[in-house]
Amino acid sequence: MKLEGKLAHEWVEEARNAWAAVSQANGETEIVVDLLNVCFVDEAGHRLLSDIRRAGAELMGSGPLMSALIDEIEEAESAGSRDASHQN
């Protein structure tokens, strides 16, 4: 799944709808979300990308903004996994 431009405002809902369609159509196939041409992500976009990552997709991007965003999402996911395993 390839996203471009700004992942903000009304475009977050469009991306969420596209994600729902892609994830339903792909079944068990791993999905890669291409963020190479995304230039801005607002808070709602960040939440969407976090949800997509938690659902098992790989986030792919480059540059300081996207690299930092992907690292932050993956670190939060890892921390959440560790916290959940300690509670069991």
Domain CATH number, residue 7: 3.30.750.24
pLDDT (0 to 100) of residue 28: 72
Q: Structurally, how many domains does the chain consist of?
A: 1
Give the tens place of pLDDT for each residue, 20-79.
Answer: 999 888 777 889 999 999 999 999 999 999 999 999 999 999 988 899 999 999 999 888
pLDDT of 87 higher than 90: no
> Any idea what the Cα angle at residue 10 is, between residues 12 and 22, rounded to 5°?
40
Domain that holds residue 52: 2-87
- Tell me the one-letter amino acid at 45: G
Predicted TM-score (pTM) of this structure: 0.86
